[in-house]
Amino acid sequence: MAKINFGGTEENVVTREEFPLDKAREVLKDEVIAVIGYGVQGPGQALNLKDNGFNVIIGQRKESKTWDKAVADGWEPGKTLFPIEEALDKGTIIQYLLSDAGQISVWPTVQKYLKPGKALYFSHGFGVTYKDRTGIIPPSDVDVILVAPKGSGTSLRRMFLEGRGLNSSYAIFQDATGKAKERVVALGIGVGSGYLFETTFQKEVYSDLTGERGTLMGAIQGIFAAQYEVLRSNGHSPSEAFNETVEELTQSLMPLVAENGMDWMYANCSTTAQRGALDWWKKFRDATLPVFSDLYSEVAKGNEAQRSIDSNSQSDYRVKLEAELKELRESEMWRAGAAVRTLRPENDK
């Protein structure tokens, strides 16, 4: 295990160099990896594992859209695609990749198939961390492990096909067999991680829920909407407001940040842009810090988890979700964005 200095703090990481794919295959050569759920993370992880030479099967409800998607992706009913209970029975490693609400619903079924020595694998610490709310309490004689790719299953698959890797965290909640460490690291390499860094189930879910509600999704949409509104209210056209709020950031500036850091992006912009950014970033930090502190507190108390459980367990959740997404999609800002995207040179037919 390598030690890497992250901003002055040394952390343990696992790289592909020290734990190559051949080693991962050797560790898992006698395992049957049953991926339960084929929605967000399931396809990317399962296909990457399959392409990397592991023994993978899918467990999914028959006569569902996700069953049909699995068939379209090349999984064969009766050979590599099975009803959930049959896959649970066959698997020695159960990759539990249903949604958080789905995990709560299916847990009584999963429990029946967690025989001694099996491994229960998560990509989110939600179910186990909030066990008092979810009822997900694994038996003591199975390994309980986590690999959490830092991105969507779609990104994980795309980067794998490009020969790249999405970084992932890993955690061990329970080591019943003495093999949990090598199992989880091998799986992390197998799903296509660029490198793996240590965490705990609790820290993974606290940081993940904060990030999703914060800079990764919630806060960024809020900031976009606020700046767009100010520009429009001061007479700027929709195309100009969108370009100065979203398009320039996503297409030009964030790739520079990803490549070599924020300071490097600043250094590659005009002196006027540099001065403004350096003068204003701390004001935005100070303005948003109380909101982020409140957000983290709500996550740690379990209130965000309960809101998610209550909302996502409703029978009409999908209908309400689509209405909320429609509100975003049909807002002037994102309708302007749709028009801007058609004008990108790569989209010129």
Active-site residue list? 124
Q: Is 212 labelled as part of a ligand binding site?
A: yes
Q: Are 170 and 144 in contact (CB under 8 A)?
A: no
Determine if residue 37 is left, alpha or beta; phi over 0 gives left, psi from -120 to 50 gives alpha, anything else beta.
left
Q: Are 60 and 37 in contact (CB under 8 A)?
A: yes
**How distant, in Å, are the alpha carbons of 257, 260, 272, 284 from that of 280?**
18, 21, 12, 7
Helix (H) or strand (E) holding 13: strand 9-15
- Nearest Cα residue to 249 out of 221, 285, 272: 221
Packing angle, helices 271-301 and 201-213, rounded to 10: 130
Determine if residue 36 is left, alpha or beta; phi over 0 gives left, psi from -120 to 50 gives alpha, anything else beta.
beta
DSSP character at residue 345: G
> How far is it, in rounded angstroms, from Cα 104 to Cα 112?
14
Q: Is 208 labelled as part of a ligand binding site?
A: yes
**Beta carbons within 10 angstroms of residue 282's beta carbon:** 9
Strand partners, 241: none
Sequence-separated (6 or more) residues with CB below 8 Å from residue 218 = 212
Query: Cα dihedral angle (131, 115, 208, 10), rounded to 10 degrees?
Result: 110
**Beta carbons within 10 angstroms of residue 53's beta carbon:** 14
Sequence-separated (6 or more) residues with CB below 8 Å from residue 143 = 118, 119, 120, 172, 174, 175, 176, 177, 179, 180, 183, 184
Q: Is 99 labelled as part of a ligand binding site?
A: no
CA terminus-to-terminus distance, the chain: 49
Q: Is 244 labelled as part of a ligand binding site?
A: yes
Binding site, by residue number, is: 208, 212, 244, 248, 270
Binding site for Mg(2+), by residue number, is: 208, 212, 244, 248
Binding site for substrate, by residue number, is: 270
